[in-house]
A and B are shown apart, each in its own frame.
Chain A
Amino acid sequence: MEIGALFQTAIVIGFASAFIAFLGFVLERDDVHKLVLTDLIEVLTLMIVACVGTDLAECLILPALVVGVAEVLAFSELAVAKEKTRLGFEEKTQQSPLNIEVLRTSPNLIAIILILYGAVLTGFTGGAVAGLGMLYYLVCRWEGDITKSFWEGVGAVSGVAWCLWILGFLLFFIVPDLWLLALFLAGGGILVKVTSKMGLIGIEGKRSFRSPGGKT
């Protein structure tokens, strides 16, 4: 198909899906379900922006995504505040935000999938993905204690990985023939470094999230 016709088809499909999403939004009465549907509409917005398919469109997706996420965060906070005032909920009530069933049952599978996918991606993106899996598991499931040696061990692994990354970059400039080795050193190094750093955040977050009342 010609590129112009392709663009037109994609735009038409995008707006048709948007129309269906709007219909669902009109028919929905429950406030929380409406919030979920607006998130769907945000995704369709990103899709329409992505249809343009140039380098510039790629730069436009990120701000649009950030705006969408900011809106969802702001209005879900607003929904929580609204329900709290409606039910006469006391601010002081003790509650643990992570006391939901899905957070006890899902971490094993999701963490494995994210870590495997992150290892395949390598580089900074892979590190972020794998680290997210680790963070999710540690916050939700991990029961162990943090000893000084454990903390320092993770820090040391992170430091060595950082050195590998720098070594990879140096090899690029000193011995360009070894570019494949340099690439893997840099990619693997940054993967391990970002993953371990995010794991440490997860260990730290576990304490403040899981204790009743939010903070210790």
Chain B
Amino acid sequence: MIGLGESLIGLIRLGDIVLYLTPTTLTLFLTAVGFTVVMALSRPETQVELVFGMDGYKKSEMPMGEIKFRRYMAIVCGVATAGAMITGDIFDFALFVTLAGIADVGIVAASKKPQVLDAAYQYGMTLMIAGLPLFGAAALVLGTAGTLSLHELDTIRVSGVVAVLFILGVLGEIGVAPFYAAKARLFRALGAPYIIMIHVSTLLIIVRTVEIIVTLL
């Protein structure tokens, strides 16, 4: 039995890298791919605000360059998330999570407002220093267990410290999520629907991280 996904559907052996398919990873992968396609095809909404005290309204629209940048970043984030869902290698997972993190910050950073850019910069700093526990944990797994393949790691126990480091790393990489998940205007705010990608990718990554931790311990 591997991790959360009760039964093993199949193994794809590519030399050292063994991809494994379970109902959990397959569902997560298909969700990520499907959502990326939706992101790529969807059009941003125009936010309309009523002006108080008179009969009028104002529209706030994103400029075309910003829309294109956000859409590109959302697609990159979706592809990275899909990769992190299907991979069978703990180091590849770390790389995909980092890429998804950079793309998340990119989606936020498309804005031209100073306070938003400042916040994105601080997210970026968190993301960069979280690389140390994440890659450090992957290196420790290689150093103590002798393999990076999650399929083989299922039968080898790794020390709890490594798991804690790994969780710390992933939390840092997706640290941008809570600030956007709690936002009530997520679906209607300026920048929607692309900022939903931040939400979806981080949720999927958290689920996969739980599966990997179960595999490691």
Chain A residue total in the interface (Cβ 8 A): 38
Q: Is B127 an interface residue (CB 8 A)?
A: yes
- Which residue among A35, A57, A82, A86 has the maximum number of chain B CB atoms within 10 Å of its CB? A82
Interface residues on B, range: 20 to 34
Distance between B58 CB and nearest chain A CB, rounded to angstroms = 22
In A76-119, the 8 Å CB interface with B consists of 78-79, 81-82, 85-86
* Cβ contact within 8 Å between A71 and B142: no
* Cβ contact within 8 Å between B129 and A38: yes
Q: Is B124 an interface residue (CB 8 A)?
A: yes
Q: Which residues in B have their C-beta under 8 angstroms from that of A38? A: 125, 128-129
Cross-interface CB contact of B91 among A18, A48, A60, A85, cutoff 8 Å: A60
Q: A-side binding surface: helix, strand, loop or mixed?
A: helix
Cross-interface CB contact of A31 among B16, B121, B142, B148, cutoff 8 Å: B121
Binds A, one of B20-28, B101-109, B193-201, B209-217: B101-109
Q: Is B44 an interface residue (CB 8 A)?
A: no
Cα A42 to Cα B130 with chains together (Å): 10
In the complex, residue of chain A having the shortest beta-carbon distance to the beta carbon of B106: A74
* Cβ contact within 8 Å between B136 and A41: no
Binds A, one of B1-9, B34-42, B112-120: B112-120
Q: Is B88 an interface residue (CB 8 A)?
A: no
* Cβ contact within 8 Å between A11 and B140: yes
* Cβ contacts A25-41/B at 8 Å (1 or 0 each): 10000010011001001
* Cβ contact within 8 Å between B143 and A25: no
Q: Which residues in B have their C-beta under 8 angstroms from that of A78? A: 105, 109, 117, 120-121, 124
* Cβ contacts A44-81/B at 8 Å (1 or 0 each): 11001101101011001001100110111011001101
* Cβ contact within 8 Å between B139 and A85: no
* Cβ contact within 8 Å between B125 and A42: no
Cross-interface CB contact of B142 among A14, A45, A52, cutoff 8 Å: A52
Q: Is A184 an interface residue (CB 8 A)?
A: no
Q: Which residues in A have their C-beta under 8 angstroms from that of B124? A: 71, 74-75, 78
Cα A70 to Cα B123 with chains together (Å): 15
In the complex, residue of chain A having the shortest beta-carbon distance to the beta carbon of B16: A56
* Cβ contact within 8 Å between A45 and B109: no
Distance between A9 CB and nearest chain B CB, rounded to angstroms = 12
Q: Is A142 an interface residue (CB 8 A)?
A: no
Distance between A18 CB and nearest chain B CB, rounded to angstroms = 6
Q: A71 and B128 in contact (CB under 8 A), knowing A7-B143, A56-B142, A81-B117? A: yes
Q: Which residues in B have their C-beta under 8 angstroms from that of A79? A: 121
Cross-interface CB contact of B131 among A25, A41, A51, cutoff 8 Å: A41
Q: Which residues in A have their C-beta under 8 angstroms from that of B139? A: 48-49, 51-52, 57, 60
Distance between B95 CB and nearest chain A CB, rounded to angstroms = 6
Cross-interface CB contact of A71 among B117, B127, B140, cutoff 8 Å: B127
In the complex, residue of chain A having the shortest beta-carbon distance to the beta carbon of B120: A78
Q: Is B190 an interface residue (CB 8 A)?
A: no
Q: A82 and B114 in contact (CB under 8 A), knowing A41-B129, A45-B131, A48-B132? A: yes
Cα A86 to Cα B109 with chains together (Å): 14
**16 A-B residue pairings within 8 Å (CB atoms):** A7-B143, A41-B128, A45-B131, A48-B135, A49-B136, A56-B148, A57-B139, A64-B135, A67-B98, A70-B102, A71-B128, A74-B106, A75-B128, A78-B105, A85-B114, A85-B117
Q: Which residues of B contact A (CB under 8 A)?
A: 16, 91, 95, 98-99, 102, 105-106, 109, 112-114, 117-118, 120-121, 124-125, 127-129, 131-132, 135-136, 138-140, 142-143, 148
Excluding A25-B125, A38-B125, A78-B109, 5 further A-B contacts by CB distance (< 8 Å) are A11-B140, A18-B132, A42-B131, A82-B120, A86-B114
